[in-house]
Structures are given as C-alpha cells and as structure tokens.
Amino acid sequence: MNYTITIQPANIVFNSSSKQTLLAAALLADIDLPYGCQGGACGACMVSKVEGEIRYPTETPPALQDEDIRAGKILCCQAIASSDVILDIPEIGTYKDKILTLPTRVADKKLLDDGSLELILKLPGQQIFPAYTANQQIEILAGAGKICRVDRLENNEEQHISLKITPKMTDSFVKYLFESLKKRDMLRIRGPL
C-alpha cells in the first residue's frame, strides 16, 4: 500500500509504502531528512506529525519520550505510514541543506584560559559538516524544546567540530555541560547558524 507524505511548510511530497520507513522513503526520493543512528536511539530524525497515522515495527523507539509523543513527535527512521501523513519540518526547504541536525559524541572536553569550556564533538559516520567560518554558531538541542546556542571554534580534525561554551552557570543545562557531561556522552546539535 502506498501513501502520500507531505512536508510542510515547503509542500514537498513523496510516496511511502507500508513496507518502508518514512526516512527510507524520503532518502529514496532524494529528500534530505536529518538522521543519525537509524535505530531509534539518537533522536536525530525526530519531526512533528501534523496529520495521519504511523506505526512502529515493534515497541516505541527509545529516543521517543512520553512528552515527545504528547507533542506529536515521531521518529522517521522507525515510523511506517499507515495512512497519508503530513509532517511539519520547517528546516526542509527553508534552510535547504545548509543546516544539519546531527547526533554527536563528546570526544574531548577542556577548560580554556578565559574560563569557558571547549567541547570537541565527533560527527556520526562519515558525516561532513559545513566549513568553519568566523562567528558561526551551533545549537545544542537539550531536550524538551530547550536549546543552548554556542560559538563554533576552528578545528582541523576531520569529522569533529569544536564548540565554545560560556560559563553561564545560572543556566542548568550549561552547568550540566561544565560539571557532568562526560567523554562519549551524546549531544544533538543543529547548525551552522
């Protein structure tokens, strides 16, 4: 059975069958949805569903929390259409392929002389990130809709990007980055901005 999937607000339309995930169908149609693990674990492929029915092959994937489900979020790498579906993905077609949402792993974490924190993040697989330019910013997606916007630092290591976090310790997420984040922890980022 084939269904029509529409991405708003760009009004991009593609078909997806009851035997493939929305991500697989989108990539086959050359639509560049963000994704990472493709196993339901990282949340990089999370988008908002406006209308329609989807199902997951087994249980609800681990990256999808109850509040995400209540907010109408789905994971495209696992979701299979059971009807025509409308998705809301503002970054598709607006920012085109310049802005990426990706899962990364913390490769290193260093305190800098000015008291700020440098995080070196490993990109997934062979993913290439757009080139560094001065004053570029990146968002760290902190979950439950919270976003931490930080500066990008120059880094010549392949498949790594470096971020500079200002010590704003009244912000609980910044405090977490300084005090609790460990090497190999996962962070979802979006950028460059």
Q: In the chain, which ranges are E strands?
A: 2-8, 12-17, 46-51, 54-55, 73-75, 80-81, 85-88, 100-111, 117-122, 137-143, 146-153, 160-165, 186-191
What gap in Å lies between CA 40 and CA 61, rounded to an integer? 5
Residue 120 touching ligand FES (CB under 6 A): no
Which residue in this structure is represented by tokens 């330019």? 133
Nearer to ligand FES, 40 or 192 (CB): 40
Smallest gap from Cβ 124 to ligand FES, in A, equals 9
Smallest gap from Cβ 36 to ligand FES, in A, equals 4
Residue 41 touching ligand FES (CB under 6 A): yes
Count other Cβ atoms within 10 Å, centred on residue 3: 20
Among 5, 33, 75, 177, binds ligand FES (CB under 6 A): 75
Q: What is the DSSP string of 20-45?
A: S-HHHHHHHTT-----SSSSSSS-TT
Residue 42 touching ligand FES (CB under 6 A): yes
Residue 40 touching ligand FES (CB under 6 A): yes
Residue 89 touching ligand FES (CB under 6 A): no
Smallest gap from Cβ 187 to ligand FES, in A, equals 13
Residues that bind ligand FES (CB under 6 A): 35-38, 40-45, 63, 75, 77
